[in-house]
Amino acid sequence: MFNRFLASIGIGSAKIDTLLEKARYAPGEEVRGIVKMQGGNVEQRIETIQLSVMTEYIRESNDSKITQQGVVGRYHVSAPFTLQANESREVPFSFQLPHQTPLTIGRAPVWVKTELDVRGGVDPGDNDRIEVVPTHAMNTVLDALNVLGFRLRKAECEYSSRLGGKMPFIQELEFVPTSQFRGQLDELEVMFYPSDRELELVLQIDRRARGLSSFFAEAMDMDETFVRARFTNEQLSAGPNAIAQQLSGIIARYI
């Protein structure tokens, strides 16, 4: 009886360790692994095993920036079961990494959080960091931006109820022009919205102030334009130079 009380407050309860098949993934890729469990001093009823893809994002509040944790995707990988005292058990799992998973560049950590939902007890947990790299489609666009002379300056996830879609945040990649658009743009922010068949972009075009009217527009954030662009997989297969030509035309229309 005393052992059950201790388990209910986390002493002598079950322990878990999640082993992922690998540490590097691209958005949309399948994630596979095993949850290893070791029973504690008493049997415990496990309602479910929950895996969550987590990240961090910045939210502004009262002129200060706060870092918050955000859920990218959540998965239940087990039906209820009883874990016996000192029992060793493994549960394999697989799930698709969400297309909107942030890339782990700049200030954007991503990890898989594992939780056991223990009836009447403290829920054990485990965190496993992963690296998230661009898809082939994203790399084509990034290479196209490089062709146009844009250099990546910053990447972070920021709160956005408007641009985040199903999530309260979106990853913004901030580029500065070094050649073709230098002197015309202050910066270009790019947001990816990938899917299996196409890659949608939202471009935030920040024009450089020229003259008094432009100065006041910049001060009031009226010098920024949001533009959506879509590229099918067939269009992206033409390569970075072809995409660079299309992006150049889009940007030029708004400066």
Residue-wise pLDDT for 43-60, tens only, equals: 899 999 999 999 999 998
Among residues 248, 12, 249, 27, which one has the least CA distance to residue 139? 27
Residue 216 has pLDDT above 70, yes or no: no
Residue 9 has pLDDT above 60, yes or no: no
Rounded to an integer, the average pLDDT of 115-134 is: 88
Rounded to an integer, the average pLDDT of 150-168 is: 88
Residue 111 has pLDDT above 80, yes or no: yes
Q: Confidence class of residue 143 from pLDDT cuts 50, 70 and 90? A: very high
Chain mean pLDDT for the chain:
88
State residue 19's pLDDT score: 97
Architecture label for domain 2-132: Sandwich (2.60)
State residue 245's pLDDT score: 97
Residue 34 has pLDDT above 70, yes or no: yes
d(CA 36, CA 19): 8
- Quick one: which H or E segment has residue 212? helix 211-219
Domain chopping of the chain, boundaries: 2-132, 136-252
Rounded to an integer, the average pLDDT of 125-135 is: 96
d(CA 111, CA 59): 19
211: which DSSP letter?
H
- State the DSSP string of 46-88: EEEEEEEEEEEEEEEETTEEEEEEEEEEEEE----EEE-TT-E
